[in-house]
Structure 1
Amino acid sequence: MIVTFDLFSALTDSRRGGSAFFADLAARHGWDLTGEQAYDRWDRHNKALQRTARAPETFHEVSLRALTAAYAELGLPVDRAGADLAALEDSVADWPLWPDVAPAVRAVAERHRVGLLSNVDDPLARRTRAHALVDPELVLTSQRLGAYKPDPEIYRAAARAVAPEPLVHVAASGRDVRGALEAGLATVRLVRPGHVLDAAGPRPPLEIEDAADLLAVLEEL
């Protein structure tokens, strides 16, 4: 089977990596806010905009709109948003994986083909540490599939892209779990700090708290 992972929730500790970037940026510019405050404000706008984003708008363009809105709310110079986003995207290469990721993904890759299913542009996916753990032919991005999570279409497009092999998606965020289940994908929820299920969405039948348990769950499937 094909096993895809969400890039910036299931595999990457994105809040830790992004907050470190914004903390350094705030220190250099003398901004009176924490890295977590800046990251959370940008991330909130980014997630909201992805709900209505449609191709051919790129993830970079969505992220720029989100960062501009976040800077405006925080009283930061919005004319810096473009340059700061470019630096933020470069910093993704240093964002840490969750501690259980590397050995678990390698173990799964010994039995199944593994990939990514993410709301990003291809170049950004290639910068991440997770990219080295998966089959580069199975990096299924919003740019490649022409849709954005949580729209069920991105999951259906991913399933079509790997057909006739069956697809299992490993998700952490509530919106990713809901989108995958509503699209009819076999879905495993990997519990991560800061991520809760959508209260109005379907409940995942399979749930693990450590990626090391994933291979056993996949064998049951």
Structure 2
Amino acid sequence: MRITDFDVLTFDCYGTLIDWESGILAALAPWRKRAGVTLGDEALLTLFSEVESKIEAERPALLYSDLLTATLREMGGRSGHAATPAEAAAFGQSVKDWPAFPDSAEALSYLKQHYKLAILSNVDRASFAHSARRLGQNFDLVVTAQDVGSYKPALAHFEVALARLAAMGIPKQKVLHTAQSLFHDHVPAKKMGLASFWIDRRAGKTGTGATKPPPEPVKPDWTAPSMAAMVEMHKREKAR
């Protein structure tokens, strides 16, 4: 099996294409400063991962911008540093400010020449629209949590995307899911019988950052530390 064997790349966006950890920490900075939060960056990202995933499971129909607001409220309660309503609301609207990884737009432009590109994201449509502009792409398919009424690792994103791709004449054997999060993406992708490519953006770092660890072992089919490295792998395969 080669990465050039596929017709579609389905992407997680946040953590894979958009640097959500930098975006999250920047958006939390006003609260941290005002409230005197002493948790370090990694501890704060771990707290975020625990709270965000819990709310996603408990309130799957909640719009992601509102979910982020609720996440900061609970993070404040757990840490003993309550967030103000204004701070929580600002965090809820922060996705628009989260930066793209430096290699994402160029890599997507290259890959678009060889694949259809799809997004399977846990955010809402309005938040993703800002990120799409940062990435410079009109994606062939976008499936958000707002569309399916649940959050990955629930399977609805994958079920809807595969059904829509099948209607285009593309079977799941021609779909390669590309993502950073083992928890949100690779475990459910494997449950759906998909090949997967791990963009390990946290290679060399300790812990799992803003993403919970997977509940079970999972083995992606390929691994690279960046989108740029994935592109180089594709170029080498094409040259052979």
**Distance in 1 between the 2:74 and 2:28 partners?**
15
Change (3 A) 1:139 1:89: farther
1:200 maps to which residue?
216
2:3 maps to which residue?
none
Change (3 A) 1:58 1:92: closer
Mapping for residues 1-221 of structure 1, pairs under 5 Å:
1-27=7-33, 29-33=34-38, 36=41, 37-54=43-60, 56-78=61-83, 80-81=84-85, 83-128=86-131, 132-136=135-139, 138-163=141-166, 164-165=169-170, 166-175=174-183, 176-193=185-202, 195=208, 198=214, 200-215=216-231, 216-217=233-234
Structure 1, residues 117-152: CA drift from partner, whole Å, max 9, x if none?
Answer: 111111111122666433255221011123310012
Give the total of aligned pairs: 217
**Distance in 2 between the 1:38 and 1:84 partners?**
16
**Distance in 1 between the 2:94 and 2:40 partners?**
14
* Aligned 8 A contact 1:3 1:113 in 2: yes
Q: Unaligned regions of 5+ residues in structure 2, if any?
A: 1-6
Q: Unaligned regions of 5+ residues in structure 1, if any?
A: none
Deviation at 1:220, TM superposition (A): 6.3
Q: Quick check: which one's helix share is greater?
A: 1
What TM-score, normalized by structure 1, do the two folds share? 0.82
* Aligned 8 A contact 1:191 1:208 in 2: yes
* Aligned 8 A contact 1:23 1:35 in 2: no
Deviation at 1:219, TM superposition (A): 9.4
The farther-off stretch of 113-122 and 160-169 is 160-169
**Distance in 2 between the 1:209 and 1:39 partners?**
20
* Aligned 8 A contact 1:115 1:134 in 2: no
2:4 maps to which residue?
none
Change (3 A) 1:103 1:183: same
**Distance in 2 between the 1:197 and 1:91 partners?**
24
Deviation at 1:104, TM superposition (A): 1.0
**Distance in 1 between the 2:218 and 2:234 partners?**
19
* Aligned 8 A contact 1:170 1:190 in 2: yes
1:10 is paired with a residue whose SS is coil
**Distance in 2 between the 1:46 and 1:218 partners?**
37
